[in-house]
Copies of this chain bind each other. A is one copy, B any other.
Amino acid sequence: MSADLKKYIRSVKDFPVQGIMFRDITTLLIDPKALKIALSELMDFIDGLKIDKVIGIESRGFIFGAMMAEKLGVGFAPIRKPGKLPAEKVKETYRLEYGTDSIEIHKDAVNPGDKVLLHDDLLATGGTAKAAANLIEKLGGEIVLISFLIELTFLKGREKLGDYNIKSLISYDSE
């Protein structure tokens, strides 16, 4: 966890709805030094693990996901909202506070036995990340690391995710 990077995150009250404190990473991304440090610290999470590919969750998960894939010299695959991916795919539906949401991955994004680094920008309740992990495992992939830029620890997403190797760079203990 990087205390220094926290100062690059912008907190926006009542976004997208009343009562939510939104943690905005665009103020980190726009700063060349902060971007470099964040990527370097995310790469440190890998810590010698063998990674065959990086999978990022739409759409902010594409940003550091793609940079990590490039640094590792491996391929990148997106997990997207329904209706965006054109070829054969699998879908996972998960529960939200009100209603449900779904995400999809191409079947050829993962080969059985692939060692996968799953990345998203934010760990909140863990619903999306859990669904993403399910998709990867349905296709026979092995998740060796799940990395996040930000973790909202008070929402206990880590508990929902369970036994994975989960790392986050910046954490918030309360709203």
A109-B26, A109-B30 in contact; A70/B39 too (CB < 8 A)?
Answer: yes
A12-B86, A58-B59, A59-B59 in contact; A32/B74 too (CB < 8 A)?
Answer: yes
Instruction: Kindly state whether residue A108 has any CB partner on chain B within 8 Å.
Output: yes
8 pairs of residues in contact across A and B, judged by CB atoms under 8 Å: A15-B86, A26-B106, A29-B75, A32-B75, A35-B69, A60-B62, A70-B70, A70-B71
Instruction: Kindly state whether residue A66 has any CB partner on chain B within 8 Å.
Output: yes
Copies held by the complex: 2
Q: Which B residue's beta carbon lies closest to that of A73?
A: B32
Shortest Cβ distance from A120 into chain B, in angstroms? 13
Q: Which of A77-85, A134-142, A153-161, A167-175 contacts B (4 or more CB under 8 A)?
A: A77-85
Q: Which B residue's beta carbon lies closest to that of A12?
A: B86
**A47: which B residues are within 8 A, CB to CB?**
none
Q: Which B residue's beta carbon lies closest to that of A39?
A: B70
B77 near A29 (CB under 8 angstroms)? yes
Instruction: Kindly state whether residue A50 has any CB partner on chain B within 8 Å.
Output: no
A76 near B29 (CB under 8 angstroms)? yes
